[in-house]
């Protein structure tokens, strides 16, 4: 894979996993029309875990994490996030969405708002934070992702990497307990991938629970505590990175890894 | 894009300009390349020049050289022309415009009160400013919100101002009243209809689709007939609205269907990711619509909204068919007076040019906005 | 799908109506429904009270009373003793006449102006800009009034009128007179010769294409075709002794007699509408041609195609897809604008129904309802055609079927498609031609049934048949049900996916009942078919459709082949 992850500075000692359960998925199934996208998914995520989900395109990995904050509706089974069950109750959905941040492949910043306004919008309107307070928090967060000087620019004026860091800051301003990453570096030029991964490492070191769909295997090796391989809507194999990469059990995993690590 | 150019191969200076071969420059080359490039093109060029020569000089002569601006009647005009250019010569009689100008602009509005519609017009520009330019202070929006009430009392009177009857309001003033009220009032209705049409709720979607397609499927004139003969039937017995108000209601409904389609286009132009990002942040439907979706969709729709306004403004001339005295409705009464009986071209041309100036400048503005939007994105 | 266990849900509480996504949309829709019904009730109630207060009644009986007004431009027989409904029909036809003439002329003007505006010729393109920008920004009503006034002022009285264009048109201030073709013995052969030569030309075109494919040789196909058609037709015309002639209008007394007569108002309206709409069409044409990117032209040139071939093979097919949808909506605008005929006294639908009939009878509700229904049906038909076109283009783009152009026939292609491909799973992946083609036929069947029944029930007034209103209640109810079910099945089949089969099944029951009660189906088909043929044919078709779709497969195909978009992750 790309070299951008080779120089990631990761301090494993700062990351620790607790026994508390952040996400519990039981026998979850999803269909698009007659297309069975997710089959019998069972997954328990503890607080502080960093899980990397990989798999070929169309394997349902994006759909899985999009189900966790109800961007997609599951038809069967149970999803419990932070003790709240995800069902058709809109209040529960709102609560879960406020606790779960999400990063998109195409950033999805709001182009008509400045960087600062992007970051303060949800705290002000969802959390009902006073504007001054929200702006102060937003500035701190922007410093954390190392772009405080861009606060008053519009997203279109920033580079891709900067935009994705703003998107991370936008999530962090809501002070989420869990963050979902849907291929956060796929739309970026190679030289910008590292700046985004650096921020993600920083989050991991801060103890954030993370579910990351990505092809950055270097990131998976160094940061993840668990790597999960999905194919045809099922979780085929999951293990610690060391075991997963050096001693895969399943044939499909071996094939996938040989293809993706060949370059 | 990256802004640090540390590249090795950079031009050290510009190549000096040099003259192209003589056959590639100069008026002769331009003529050859643009006008006489092939047989068909040459024929077209010659035909166009002949048409221009045949049409333009007589028109200029009739309009400007032989045109008369001061006379009391059509026969007066003819006398002036005969005296200046000899018997049998024809020229434009602009005296009718000169004499009836105020009427064409204000209808039968009392002339000592002309300041009121003029003030209302100036205030309208002031009220539009904070809507169009976001750099102006936000408190000015309160003025914009209060403007319709102020304009109503300025034009119709009341609150200590002398009352003016609806029947006295006419001319361009009436066109502007109907056009502007129609477009402003149709904006919120259009937004609601467009959102409804996008809704996943079958029944709400159906209501919106049926309304929009019904209004867009019938000519405006049938809706104006409804305004003039039917609308009062729909009101509780004993109530009745003024004709101008009824026309404004129907024109608003008419415009809102077209507005809805324009805004729907703006909504469709939005990236699906914007909806998802708003959802993921925990914004509910109304908040994400108000804060994320509509600001962007409306911005994209502005050229379309201006175009709808141009169409509506042109369509206000249809009110003359149901007896309102807009500029077109005033033409026949003027032509029927003894002094101006027989006048034809001058009146039509004047009204046409009047509308042309408004519509053309607005269409240029909308084109400019469209270009600006393209570069913004 | 086979869901066995839903996600676990709490038991129902009242606040779940607006906090639970399962109930909320239904709840909101019921509220909206109630609000709409209340509003409708309020309006209808007001209308009823107002009508009662004025002592007016609601009904269409007045349409059969004599109109007692004249219409001086008409396509069918009409006198002032004819009924209001005949007057309305005259008006409708006049609207359609203006619309058709206007659309043809506007297309011609618009395409010419649009292409010329892009011309490299500086003067010509500027002139076209002046035309387009000048005309577009002036209200069409002013243009109609001005043109009509000009024609009235400028044109001579019939006494002093002169024929123009070699007698082809006599413009007077009373109207325009055109010669009318007359057919004598032997003209049939000329027409036949013309048709034969056209078929020959088409055949020759195909032969030339085949030849080109085999030998690579290009023939001057267009010239040969033209020569073939013109030569053969002219030859027959001469041999048969000039059987087709023209009858020219002649001045008799104060007016012209003979020939085709068009009032000045008709000419003025047509011209003004087409000049106005032409300017808009010109802009669409220009935008369409410009939309085909410059890269396409350059790619074609790079392949060595000549400029004329580039236009025909590369630019036009792509530009047409962009141009045609706005072109069709311009036709719709022209048709709606033709209602301004009222302002210059041309008796179109608005002038008859919404004008004199309304004023004379005072039945404003009924006349305006009819008028709006007329315009609505025109607009909806035009949008329907446009949707067909768009679906066709989408289909072509998706399945990359060669050819590319639009043809109604293509919608029926594949009726003989392979039946074994019509399995459930396939349909989500590929358009299913067999089912779609079969559905097209069924939709046609329902459409035809509907037209015939409506005609038979309410319009047919031939001798010796009882009016619908005199029938027994049972027969009345059955036929009414049958009509309603056919209509619903027709509409659902067109617009609402595959659900129409449910309607069709219900309709089948009523159909059988109607057969048992002895409904005269033969009369309904304009007497074209025997009752037994209709009954058994109809039964077979309905049973086949229902059985096939119930037992065979229920693929996700609609009338327009629209395949449900399955999206992966």
Model confidence pLDDT, tens digit, residues A134-144: 999 999 999 99
Cα separation, C462 vs C486, whole angstroms: 24
Q: Which of A35, A78, A90 sits opposite C7 (nearest CB)?
A: A78
Whether C379 and B216 lie within 8 Å, measured CB to CB: yes
Measured in angstroms, the CA of C480 and the nearest CA of chain A are apart by 38
Measured in angstroms, the CA of C61 and the nearest CA of chain B are apart by 20
Q: Considering only CA atoms, which of A174, A79, A68, A76 is closest in space to residue A118?
A: A174
Whether A108 and B279 lie within 8 Å, measured CB to CB: no
Measured in angstroms, the CA of C98 and the nearest CA of chain B are apart by 15
Residue B324 and residue B247 in contact, taking contact as beta carbons nearer than 8 Å: yes
> Alpha-carbon torsion A252, A257, A263, B2, what sign?
positive
Residue B61 and residue B90 in contact, taking contact as beta carbons nearer than 8 Å: no
- On whether any CB of chain C is under 8 Å from the CB of B240, the answer is no
Q: Considering only CA atoms, which of A213, A250, A249 is closest in space to residue A67?
A: A213
Please tell me the pTM assigned to this model. 0.79
Residue C468: Cβ-neighbour burial (10 angstroms; 0-12, 13-18, 19+): middle
- On whether any CB of chain C is under 8 Å from the CB of A75, the answer is yes
Cα separation, A106 vs A182, whole angstroms: 9
Tell me how many helices (H) and strands (E) chain B has.
Answer: 15, 0
Q: Which residue has the tokens 């617009």?
A: C495
More confident site: B153 or C153: B153
Q: Which of C142, C339, C365 sits opposite B348 (nearest CB)?
A: C142
Whether C569 and A59 lie within 8 Å, measured CB to CB: yes
More confident site: C112 or C60: C112
Q: What is the pLDDT of residues A172-209, one digit of tens each?
A: 999 999 999 999 998 888 888 988 999 999 999 888 99
Residue A11 has pLDDT above 50, yes or no: yes
Cα separation, C498 vs C489, whole angstroms: 10
In B, which residues are within 8 Å of A117 by CB distance? none
Residue ranges in C5-121 assigned as alpha helix (H):
16-19, 21-54, 84-117
Residue B169 and residue B151 in contact, taking contact as beta carbons nearer than 8 Å: no
Residue ranges in chain A assigned as alpha helix (H):
61-68, 90-99, 115-125, 131-144, 160-172, 190-205, 217-223, 241-246, 251-260
Phi, psi of C402 (to 5 degrees): -65, 160
> Alpha-carbon torsion C215, C218, C222, C224, what sign?
negative
Q: What is the pLDDT of residues C248-276, one digit of tens each?
A: 777 776 677 767 778 889 999 999 999 99
Whether A88 and C428 lie within 8 Å, measured CB to CB: no
Residue C174 has pLDDT above 80, yes or no: no
Measured in angstroms, the CA of C543 and the nearest CA of chain A are apart by 28
In A, which residues are within 8 Å of B1 by CB distance? 159
Residue B313 and residue B179 in contact, taking contact as beta carbons nearer than 8 Å: yes
SS3 C423: coil
Residue ranges in C341-459 assigned as alpha helix (H):
349-351, 358-361, 364-399, 408-412, 424-429, 433-454
SS3 C172: strand
More confident site: B81 or C558: B81
In C, which residues are within 8 Å of A31 by CB distance? 1
The CATH classification number of C84-159+261-393 equals: 1.10.3720.10
Q: Considering only CA atoms, which of A236, C231, A195 is closest in space to residue B2?
A: A195
pLDDT at C511: 84
- On whether any CB of chain C is under 8 Å from the CB of B161, the answer is no
Cα separation, B369 vs B376, whole angstroms: 10
Across the range B141-161, mean pLDDT stands at 88
Interface test with A, best of C4, C7, C567 (most A CBs within 10 A): C7
Residue A171 and residue A179 in contact, taking contact as beta carbons nearer than 8 Å: yes
Which range among B168-172, B234-238, C71-75, C281-285 shows the weakest confidence by mean pLDDT? C71-75
pLDDT at B172: 93
Q: Which residue has the tokens 């937004």?
A: B191
Cα separation, B309 vs B363, whole angstroms: 10
Residue B29 has pLDDT above 70, yes or no: yes
Whether C339 and B219 lie within 8 Å, measured CB to CB: yes
> How many Cβ atoms from other residues are within 10 Å of residue A13's Cβ?
7
Banded pLDDT at C403 (limits 50, 70, 90): very low
Residue C434 has pLDDT above 70, yes or no: no
Reading the block at residue C324, the tokens are 């045609």
- Give chain B's contact residues with A (Cβ, < 8 Å): 1-2, 271, 273-274, 276-277, 279-284, 287, 291-292, 295-296, 299, 376-377
Residue B151: Cβ-neighbour burial (10 angstroms; 0-12, 13-18, 19+): buried
Residue C519 has pLDDT above 70, yes or no: yes
Residue C527 has pLDDT above 70, yes or no: no
Residue ranges in B133-201 assigned as alpha helix (H):
140-156, 171-198
Most confident of C79-83, C153-157, C335-339, C422-426: C335-339
Cα separation, C316 vs C291, whole angstroms: 11
Reading the block at residue A4, the tokens are 């951008």
Banded pLDDT at B223 (limits 50, 70, 90): very high
Residue C49: Cβ-neighbour burial (10 angstroms; 0-12, 13-18, 19+): middle
Q: Which of C47, C140, C343 sits opposite B321 (nearest CB)?
A: C343
- Residues linked to residue A180 through DSSP beta bridges, in sequence order: A102, A211
Interface test with B, best of C28, C45, C128, C137 (most B CBs within 10 A): C137
Banded pLDDT at C558 (limits 50, 70, 90): very low
Measured in angstroms, the CA of B282 and the nearest CA of chain A are apart by 5
Cα separation, C191 vs A26, whole angstroms: 79
pLDDT at B376: 60
Q: Which of A106, A111, A174 sits opposite B281 (nearest CB)?
A: A174
Q: Considering only CA atoms, which of C112, C122, C311, C308 is closest in space to residue B36?
A: C122
Reading the block at residue C25, the tokens are 């949309």
In A, which residues are within 8 Å of B295 by CB distance? 112
Distance between alpha carbon A234 and the CA centroid of its chain, in Å? Answer: 19
Cα separation, C506 vs C526, whole angstroms: 26
> How many Cβ atoms from other residues are within 10 Å of residue B211's Cβ?
18
Q: Considering only CA atoms, which of A39, A56, A72 is closest in space to residue A252?
A: A56
Cα separation, C353 vs C344, whole angstroms: 16
Cα separation, B344 vs B355, whole angstroms: 17
Q: Considering only CA atoms, which of A41, A8, A22, A53 is closest in space to residue A241?
A: A53
> Alpha-carbon torsion C382, C387, C388, C392, what sign?
positive
Q: What is the pLDDT of residues A21-55, one digit of tens each?
A: 999 999 999 988 778 889 999 999 999 999 999 99
In A, which residues are within 8 Å of B2 by CB distance? 159
Measured in angstroms, the CA of A76 and the nearest CA of chain B are apart by 22
Interface test with C, best of A53, A76, A93 (most C CBs within 10 A): A76
CB proximity under 8 Å: A 120-159 to B: 121-122, 125-126, 156, 159
pLDDT at C568: 30
Q: What is the pLDDT of residues B308-354, one digit of tens each?
A: 999 999 999 999 999 899 999 998 888 888 888 888 888 899 999 99
- On whether any CB of chain A is under 8 Å from the CB of C121, the answer is no
Reading the block at residue A193, the tokens are 């991938």
> How many Cβ atoms from other residues are within 10 Å of residue A156's Cβ?
11
Whether B282 and A121 lie within 8 Å, measured CB to CB: no
SS3 B272: helix
Across the range B170-189, mean pLDDT stands at 93
Residue ranges in B218-293 assigned as alpha helix (H):
220-225, 243-269, 272-280, 285-288
pLDDT at C470: 72
Q: Considering only CA atoms, which of B227, B222, A4, B73 is closest in space to residue C371?
A: B222
pLDDT at A104: 92
Across the range C157-185, mean pLDDT stands at 76
Structure letter (DSSP) for residue A226: E
Cα separation, C53 vs C267, whole angstroms: 45
Strand A35-46 relative to strand A209-213: parallel, antiparallel, unpaired?
Answer: unpaired
Across the range C339-352, mean pLDDT stands at 90
pLDDT at B192: 95
SS3 B204: helix
Whether A122 and B282 lie within 8 Å, measured CB to CB: yes
Q: How many contacts does B have with C, using Cβ atoms within 8 A?
A: 156
Chain B neighbours, 3+ Cβ pairs < 8 A: A, C
Cα separation, C415 vs C409, whole angstroms: 11
pLDDT at C68: 82
Domains of chain B: 25-85 (no CATH), 164-373 (1.10.3720.10)
């Amino acid at each position: 894979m790309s070299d951008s992850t080779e120089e990631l500075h990761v301090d494993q000692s700062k990351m620790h996993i607790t026994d508390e359960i952040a996400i519990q998925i039981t026998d979850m199934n999803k269909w698009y029309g007659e297309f069975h996208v997710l089959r019998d998914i069972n997954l328990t995520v503890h607080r502080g875990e960093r899980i990397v989900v990989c798999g070929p395109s169309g394997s349902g990995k994006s759909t899985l994490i999009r189900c966790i904050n109800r961007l997609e509706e599951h038809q069967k089974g149970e999803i419990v996030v932070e003790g709240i069950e995800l069902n058709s109750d809109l209040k529960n959905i709102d609560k879960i969405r406020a606790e779960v941040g999400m990063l998109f492949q195409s950033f999805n910043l709001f182009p008509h708002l400045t960087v600062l306004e992007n970051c303060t919008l949800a705290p002000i309107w969802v959390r009902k934070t006073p504007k001054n307070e929200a702006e102060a928090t937003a500035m701190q967060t922007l410093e954390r992702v190392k772009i405080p000087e861009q606060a008053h620019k519009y997203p279109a004026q920033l580079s891709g990497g900067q935009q994705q860091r703003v998107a991370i800051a936008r999530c962090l301003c809501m002070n989420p307990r869990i963050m979902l990453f849907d291929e956060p570096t796929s739309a970026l030029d190679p030289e910008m991938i590292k700046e985004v991964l650096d921020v993600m490492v920083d989050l991991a070191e801060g103890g954030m629970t993370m579910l990351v769909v990505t092809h950055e295997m270097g990131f998976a090796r160094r940061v993840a505590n668990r790597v999960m391989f999905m194919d045809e809507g099922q979780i085929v194999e999951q293990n610690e990175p060391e075991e997963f990469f050096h001693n895969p059990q399943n044939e499909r995993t071996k094939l996938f890894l040989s293809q993706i690590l060949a370059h | 894009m990256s802004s640090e150019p540390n590249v090795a191969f950079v031009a050290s200076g510009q190549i000096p300009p040099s003259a192209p071969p003589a056959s590639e420059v100069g008026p002769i080359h331009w003529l050859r390349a643009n006008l006489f490039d092939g047989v068909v093109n040459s024929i077209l060029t010659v035909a166009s020049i002949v048409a221009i020569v045949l049409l333009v000089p007589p028109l200029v002569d009739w309009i400007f050289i032989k045109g008369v601006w001061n006379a009391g009647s059509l026969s007066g005009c003819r006398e002036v022309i005969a005296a200046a250019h000899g018997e049998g010569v024809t020229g434009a009689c602009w005296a009718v415009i000169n004499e009836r100008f105020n009427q064409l602009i204000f209808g039968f509005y009392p002339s000592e009160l002309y300041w009121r519609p003029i003030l209302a017009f100036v205030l309208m520009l002031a009220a539009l400013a904070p809507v169009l330019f976001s750099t102006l202070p936000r408190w000015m929006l309160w003025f914009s919100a209060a403007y319709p009430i102020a304009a109503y009392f300025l034009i119709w009177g009341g609150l200590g101002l002398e009352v003016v009857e609806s029947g006295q309001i006419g001319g361009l003033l009436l066109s502007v009243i109907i056009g502007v009220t129609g477009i402003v009032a149709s904006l919120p209705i259009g937004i609601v209809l467009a959102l409804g049409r996008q809704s996943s709720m079958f029944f709400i979607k159906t209501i919106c689709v049926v309304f929009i397609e019904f209004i867009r499927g019938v000519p405006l004139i049938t809706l104006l007939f409804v305004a003039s003969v039917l609308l009062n039937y729909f009101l509780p017995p004993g109530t009745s609205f003024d004709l101008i108000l009824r026309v404004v209601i129907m024109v608003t409904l008419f415009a809102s269907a077209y507005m809805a389609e324009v805004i729907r286009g703006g909504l469709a132009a939005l990236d699906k990711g914007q909806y998802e990002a708003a959802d993921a942040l925990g914004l509910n439907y109304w908040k994400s619509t108000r804060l994320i979706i509509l600001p962007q969709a409306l911005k994209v729709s502005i050229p379309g909204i201006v175009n709808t306004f141009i169409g509506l403004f042109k369509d206000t001339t249809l009110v003359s068919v149901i007896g309102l005295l807009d500029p077109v409705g005033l033409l026949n009464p003027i032509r029927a007076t003894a002094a101006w009986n027989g006048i034809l071209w001058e009146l039509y041309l004047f009204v046409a040019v009047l509308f042309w100036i408004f519509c053309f400048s607005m269409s240029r503005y909308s084109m400019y906005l469209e270009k600006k939007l393209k570069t913004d994105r | 799908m086979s869901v066995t266990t839903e996600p676990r849900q709490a038991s129902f509480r009242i606040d779940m109506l607006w906090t639970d996504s399962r109930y909320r949309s239904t709840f909101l829709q019921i509220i909206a429904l109630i609000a709409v019904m209340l509003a409708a009730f309020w309006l209808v109630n007001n209308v009823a009270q107002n009508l009662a207060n004025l002592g007016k009644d609601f009904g269409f009986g007045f349409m059969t009373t004599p109109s007692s007004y004249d219409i001086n431009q008409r396509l069918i027989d009409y006198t002032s003793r004819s009924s209001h409904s005949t007057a309305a029909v005259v008006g409708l036809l006049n609207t359609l006449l203006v619309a058709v003439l206007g659309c043809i002329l506007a297309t011609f003007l618009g395409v010419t102006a649009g292409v010329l505006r892009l011309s490299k010729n500086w003067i010509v393109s500027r002139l076209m800009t002046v035309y387009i920008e000048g005309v577009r920004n002036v209200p069409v009503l002013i243009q109609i009034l001005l043109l009509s006034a000009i024609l009235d002022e400028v044109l001579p009285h019939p006494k002093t009128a002169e024929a123009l264009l070699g007698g082809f048109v006599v413009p007077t201030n009373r109207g325009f007179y055109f010669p009318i073709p007359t057919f004598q013995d032997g003209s049939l052969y000329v027409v036949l010769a013309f048709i034969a030569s056209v078929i020959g030309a088409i055949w020759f075109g195909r032969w030339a294409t085949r030849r080109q494919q085999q030998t690579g040789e290009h023939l001057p196909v267009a010239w040969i075709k033209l020569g073939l058609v013109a030569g053969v037709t002219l030859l027959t015309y001469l041999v048969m002794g000039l059987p087709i002639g023209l009858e020219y209008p002649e001045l008799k007394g104060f007016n012209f007699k003979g020939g085709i007569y068009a009032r000045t108002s008709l000419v003025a309206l047509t011209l003004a509408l087409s000049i106005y709409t032409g300017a808009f069409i010109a802009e669409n044409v220009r935008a369409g041609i410009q939309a085909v990117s410059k890269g396409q032209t350059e790619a074609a040139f790079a392949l060595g195609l000549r400029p004329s071939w580039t236009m025909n093979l590369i630019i036009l097919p792509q530009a047409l897809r962009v141009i045609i949808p706005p072109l069709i909506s311009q036709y719709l605008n022209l048709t709606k604008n033709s209602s301004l005929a009222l302002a210059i006294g041309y008796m179109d639908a608005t002038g008859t129904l919404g004008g004199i009939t309304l004023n004379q009878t005072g039945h404003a509700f009924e006349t305006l309802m009819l008028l709006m229904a007329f315009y609505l049906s025109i607009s909806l038909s035009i949008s329907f055609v446009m949707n067909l076109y768009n679906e066709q283009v989408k289909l072509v783009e998706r399945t990359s079927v060669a050819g590319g152009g639009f043809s109604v026939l293509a919608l029926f292609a594949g009726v003989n498609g392979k039946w074994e491909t019509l399995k459930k799973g396939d349909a989500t992946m590929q358009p299913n031609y067999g089912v779609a083609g079969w559905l097209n036929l069924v939709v046609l069947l329902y459409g035809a049934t509907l037209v015939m029944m409506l005609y038979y029930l309410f319009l047919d007034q031939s001798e010796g048949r009882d009016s619908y209103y005199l029938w027994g209640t049972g027969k009345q109810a059955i036929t009414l049900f049958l009509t309603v079910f056919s209509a619903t099945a027709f509409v659902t089949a067109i617009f609402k996916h595959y659900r129409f089969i449910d309607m069709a099944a219900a309709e089948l029951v009523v159909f059988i009942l109607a057969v048992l009660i002895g409904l005269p189906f033969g009369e309904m088909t304009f007497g074209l078919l025997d009752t037994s043929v209709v009954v058994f044919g109809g039964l077979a078709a309905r049973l086949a459709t229902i059985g096939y779709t119930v037992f065979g497969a229920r693929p996700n195909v609609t009338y327009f082949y629209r395949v449900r978009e399955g999206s992966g992750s």
